[in-house]
Amino acid sequence: MTVATLDKQKVAVQPNNWSKLQRFWARNPALILGIFLVSLVVVIAFMAPSLAPKDPISHDYSARLSPPSSEHLMGTDKFGRDIFSRVLIGTRVDLSIGVISVIFPFIFGILIGMISGYFGGLLDNLLMRVVDINVAFPFYVLVIVILAILGPGVINMYIALILVGWIAYAKIIRGEVLIAKNTEYVLAAQALGYSHWRIMIKHILPNVISPAIIFAMSDVVMCILAGSSLGFLGLGVQAPTPEWGVMIADGREFITSAPWLAIFPGLAIAVVGISFSLLGDGLSSLLRPTDN
């Protein structure tokens, strides 16, 4: 008798979970698709060396500029390097550009935005003038100026992207904190004798962080594009490291005779971009307070 009921329950649980997932999918397909694609990209990035069929750097002059075939899925470049392997390894390079040049600005920007918005006064004024100066220049102009001063290279590219990147987060968070610090729960927290840091970190931050997280998702895409563009210009990642922007730059001269050189790295950028955009979209509708 008991066994029978238990069995029934077990049977009942599974479709329940499945229908939960279905409901979630119906409500927020972008999030599920985004999570799936981003995890796929991350897995590829981690497994790239074992997935790549050929050495991405070694030259093979017998197979220069060969079109896509079963031997070379995406063809080869002017040195006979396998494009497919290079795109796979490039996932690693570009993803780390996207992640590193978002995580640091994310942390610095939020910290500065919190302090600026919460304490206000002279400090806020000073920090916001720094922000204004930064905003006055177009993104690429500023990054290229910094790189021109520091000199090209991967580390310098990171420095430039971080120096410019925190601004957006600081602005977003400051605005949110300005609203949040006048809410009743902050007043209540102050009246209960909580310290400023406790109020900022434990009470305000969780309430203001979601726009920054959503922005970070599209920022990953932007940073990958920026990394590619800088690679294309020869200011960031240097050849022969397989980076998508660099690969597109190399393929430029063969765009009519061997278009696969530029098309496949370009596609890779597009796919990663769409994945993170979907994730960002999905998160934004998930974190929007009215939907919870």
Partner 1 sequence: MGDILRVENLRTYFKVRGGVVKAVDDVSFTVGDGEVLGLVGESGSGKSMTCRSILRLVPPPGEILSGRIYYQDQDIMTWPENHLVDYRGAQVSMVLQEPMTALNAVHTVGKQIVETILQHESVSQKDAEQRAIDLMRLVGIPAPERRLKEYPHQFSGGMRQRVMIAIALACRPKVLLADEPTTALDVTIQDQIIRLVKDLQEEMGMSVVWVTHDLGVVAQLCDRVAVMYAGRILELCDVIELFENSRHPYTRGLMESVPSGNTRAASKLIPIPGQPPDLLNLEEGCPFRERCRYTVERCQEKDIPLVKVSDKHYSACIRQKELWES
Asked if residue 189 binds partner 1 (CB under 8 A), the reply is: yes
User: How far is 140 from 64, CA to CA, in rounded Å?
Assistant: 34
Stretch that binds partner 1, among 84-92, 190-198, 211-219, 256-264 (CB under 8 A): 190-198
Interface residue with partner 1 among 42, 68, 103, 207 (CB under 8 A) is: 207
* Least CB distance to partner 1 at residue 202 (A): 8
Question: What is the nearest approach in angstroms of partner 1 to the Cβ of residue 192?
Answer: 4
Alpha-carbon distances, residue 240 vs 61, 243, 280 (angstroms)? 16, 8, 32
Instruction: Give the Cα separation of 134 and 62 in Å (integer).
Output: 50
Q: Of 22, 58, 125, 183, which lies in the binding site for partner 1, with binding defined by CB under 8 A?
A: 183
Of 8, 198, 252, 288, the one binding partner 1 (CB under 8 A) is 198
- Nearest approach, Cβ of residue 197 and partner 1 (Å): 11
138 CA to centre of own chain:
20
User: Pick from 191, 256, 257, 290: which binds partner 1 (CB under 8 A)?
Assistant: 191
* Binding status of residue 203 toward partner 1 by CB under 8 A: yes
Closer of 172 and 199 to partner 1 (Cβ): 199
Q: How far apart are CA 279 and CA 35, in angstroms?
A: 6
Residue type, 124: D
Query: Do 143 and 160 meet the contact criterion of CB atoms below 8 Å apart?
Result: yes
Closest to 115 in 3D by CA, of 128, 124, 106: 124
Query: Residues in the site for partner 1, rule: CB under 8 A?
Result: 120, 182-185, 187-195, 198, 202-203, 206-207
